[in-house]
Structure formats: C-alpha cells, structure tokens
Amino acid sequence: DVKVTQSSRYLVKRTGEKVFLECVQDMDHENMFWYRQDPGLGLRLIYFSYDVKMKEKGDIPEGYSVSREKKERFSLILESASTNQTSMYLCASSLLEGRGSYGYTFGSGTRLTVV
Amino acid sequence: AQTVTQSQPEMSVQEAETVTLSCTYDTSESDYYLFWYKQPPSRQMILVIRQEAYKQQNATENRFSVNFQKAAKSFSLKISDSQLGDAAMYFCALMEYGNKLVFGAGTILRVKS
C-alpha cells in the first residue's frame, strides 16, 4: 500500500525552538507539498517542491523553510517556533504535472502545539 | 487568483438520506480539475471524487456524485444513502496549471442514526 508518512502525530514545542517536521513518501512522486490546516481556513500551502533540491514558496511561507535532499523526503522547518504556528501540518505528494491531476496522496498529519 | 468557497460550515443528514454539499470557485483558466476530499477523525485525507473541467459529464463514484456547473463555477457533492461512516470534514479543492491544490474552508458533515 502506497504511503506518505509523517514522523510525528503530535508534537509539543517551546517558543523559540527550531522544529523539524519530516515527511517520507514511497511512491516515487516528483511533487511534494506542505500545508497547514486551521479551523475555518481549510488547508493553506506553505511550500512545495517539484524535484530534489528545488523548492517554491506557497501562499504562507513566512516563518518556515523546507529541505528536499532526497526525492522521497521533504522536511518542513520552523526556524524559531511561535505560538501562531500552532496548527495541524499535512504533507502530500503527487506525480508530475499532467499525471498529477489525479490528486494528492496525504500523510495523516502532525498536530503541533507551540507553548 | 484562484479561490474556493464552501459556504456551509456544518451540515447534518439522517442515515439513509441524501445530502448535498456546496462549493463555488473562481479561476481564469478553462482547463482545470476539481476534487472533493474527505477527512474523517483519523485525519487521513481521502479522495472522494474528481472532475475534469473539459468533461461536461458529472463524475460519479458509487454513492457520491457531483453537479458540475462550469459557467456558474459551481461544484456540489451529493451523497446518497448516507452512512455513519460518511461523517467527516469534506473539502472542495481546485487544481490549475502547476499541480497546486487550493482548498476551501471545509464542511463538517454529521450523520444522525
């Protein structure tokens, strides 16, 4: 069964900490995405990547960075966590454009609380 | 900019009845894709149904069907014979050129037994 795996289901971090959220997919997908999900706002795109070592800003990149050193792994980094980054974070992957129009495969999310 | 609007924050339906979830969107493109995703309490996003904008025929997947009105930019989801397992958050999403999905705010569906 194909999968997108997020390393943590729940995380609690302190304000100012550097936080790493890890995502691994086993489907050989080119595209990978990070979204945050907040009540009443739906899912908002933070960053995405079309290939190894490539990254593009989404709609809300401020306070975040990403790393994609290998095709199967896409990491989201909170350089200095703040309480307004408390949220659910969802990772997703898809095939290249054209074939990717069949939608994304999602991980099961990481609920991050910053205290 | 592309936007997706789900105007119903919550909906309720009686088991075995039919319910329709609304979605409108805005795009300047003529070629795009529309999706409905389901997110149960487990948080795993599940693709429910997909529609290609250049196809006039409405997509159907078992008890799930859509009413796609391209001119009105409307994409509603109909769930027939509702089951307890249909209770979830439902997201409408739009994909244009570039493979990025834009999501609506979601509709919580409650199913009453």
Q: Which residues contact A28 (CB under 8 A, 6 or more apart)?
A: A71, A72
Q: What is the pLDDT along chain B (113 residues), one digit of tens a residue?
A: 789 999 999 999 999 999 999 999 999 988 899 999 999 998 999 999 999 998 889 999 999 999 999 999 999 999 999 999 999 999 999 998 767 899 999 999 999 99
The per-residue pLDDT for A69 is 95
Scanning every residue of chain A, which has its alpha carbon at the shortest distance from the alpha carbon of B106? A42
Choose the closest CB to A104 out of B42, B97, B101: B101
Q: What are phi and psi of B91, to 5 degrees?
A: -115, 135
Contacts of A50 in chain B (CB under 8 A): 99
The per-residue pLDDT for B91 is 97
Yes or no, beta carbons of A42 and B101 under 8 Å apart? no
pLDDT tens string A77-102: 999 999 999 999 999 998 876 555 77
Q: What are phi and psi of B108, to 5 degrees?
A: -85, 125
pLDDT tens string A45-56: 999 999 898 999
The per-residue pLDDT for A2 is 62
Yes or no, beta carbons of B100 and A103 under 8 Å apart? no
